[in-house]
Structure 1
């Protein structure tokens, strides 16, 4: 993992997998999630498919810069993403975002269309209208904060219960492991609230997405309780020449048994 400053002076932490000679694939993470949420093994599978894979901590989480005053929106986070590409001397990249990361990816292709070679949108939405699990998010927010690593390990699986897939067993071992790893790197739940404020402060992207020229693939689970699969259908309708895949039994997560299909879908779209 490395630290870098964007041209605008935002401090970001990132990690790279694969051959630098391969086309870059930038992975954007969701609400309150550190880059570790893109499982290292999944990143390596994407690298083996022929990409230089880059994952990073969004602002306000992990080892990237904190913005205690908040007062930013998804356009600012998309500018961070474009700034990371600038700092890495990457002109254009394949971009994949999950959940809030998909919202940032949408804003990136709207504000910085020349930077996006292809677009992958995973269980995300073009507007607040399709966030169907706000009461579940409130329950997550109401969970106690970890006072030590042991509590972080036990609390993280509880915080992820709304994301679980009805058609696949929960990977509790991994959820406990990543809960501890995130605690070790940086534990700051306040950043999640500021990111949620950024989502709420951002305008509807639906109409603007009609200008998207990047090849786009949209993936969503029919068991997602946080963002309605209807959001994926709207994205498909609005983004020209996009493809839509509804994955039976998948919730608001990426179950390990689906990784080969997800990797293949992203790869086919990029090609």
Structure 2
């Protein structure tokens, strides 16, 4: 297991690998404001035992990767979409299986469309093609978008933990939520994050109109696609995953009972075998 700072697209990104570089590479791409820590180490180890060469990384402004002042990211949305390809370049990998969750799924899908020669397969978890024809978020999510809560002091570790836990619970499904384990993981994440205020802020202030919508191009996807989606996803209800699987030629949908907008440990007995089967060959 290694962790290293790599030069990628003119900045430094923190990358960690599991397994043998000779095995099929699987690049994990998490969602907005999420560092590599959210791809939990036991999950990565289960994939590596596949055997797979598993790669996880910190997005810009998360973890140990390049960081900018809160509210002042010196990059744009498309840079986040190009970084995974830059990581493959830095590691000398020609083609990889991409596994993305939420925004990470959108990134993986865009790479599959724009750089198909770099992709062996796509796994899209908690991902949406977006569209007014799809069901809206649950009421509690929409209420959180419009409510004004007191600002969190992100320099206060305990206050930050409380807020991060509250946010996770908001997006969780009906599976048991292991709060002590999540606090341990999030405490580790905070300790290795250069600027937590930047991490929870800067992805959300990026312009949202600088990447064309992918949905009109879903029919162009040529690589094998696995769609993983929680049956209790409060942000993107299951119809979003069903639309992806329906509109991408040959895509395979696996629903995760009880899961929300997440890929928690109770789903791994389904998700890990599905990913390994999908990334064989």
TM over 0.5: yes
Partners of 1:140 and 1:99 lie apart in 2 by: 24
- CA 1:137–1:188 in 2, change beyond 3 Å: closer, same or farther? farther
Q: Does 1:179 align with 2:186?
A: yes
Corresponding position of 2:170: 162
- CA 1:260–1:217 in 2, change beyond 3 Å: closer, same or farther? same
The answer to whether the 8 A contact 2:39-2:56 is kept is: yes
Corresponding position of 1:33: 34
* Aligned-partner SS, 2:23: coil
* Aligned-partner SS, 1:207: helix
Q: Does 1:79 align with 2:87?
A: no
Structure 1 segments, 4+ long, off by >6 Å, are: none
Partners of 2:20 and 2:198 lie apart in 1 by: 36
Spell out the pairing of 1:1-271 with structure 2 (5 A cutoff): 1-6=3-8, 8-68=9-69, 69-70=72-73, 72-127=75-130, 129=132, 132=137, 133-137=141-145, 144-166=152-174, 168-186=175-193, 187-198=195-206, 200-201=208-209, 202-271=211-280
* Aligned-partner SS, 2:67: coil
- Tell me the C-alpha RMSD between the 2 structures: 2.1
CA drift at 1:196 = 2.6
- CA 1:139–1:250 in 2, change beyond 3 Å: closer, same or farther? farther
CA drift at 1:136 = 3.2
The answer to whether the 8 A contact 1:71-1:198 is kept is: no
The answer to whether the 8 A contact 2:68-2:198 is kept is: no
- CA 1:134–1:113 in 2, change beyond 3 Å: closer, same or farther? farther
Partners of 1:138 and 1:41 lie apart in 2 by: 36
The answer to whether the 8 A contact 2:154-2:197 is kept is: no
The unaligned stretches of length 5 or more in structure 1 are: none
Q: Deviations over 1:161-210 (max 9, x none)?
A: 112121x1101012111221121112423343332344733332101121
* Aligned-partner SS, 1:200: coil
Partners of 1:9 and 1:141 lie apart in 2 by: 37
Q: How many pairs align? A: 269
- CA 1:5–1:163 in 2, change beyond 3 Å: closer, same or farther? same
Partners of 2:111 and 2:149 lie apart in 1 by: 28
* Aligned-partner SS, 2:73: coil
CA drift at 1:66 = 2.6
CA drift at 1:71 = 6.8
The answer to whether the 8 A contact 1:233-1:244 is kept is: yes
CA drift at 1:76 = 2.0
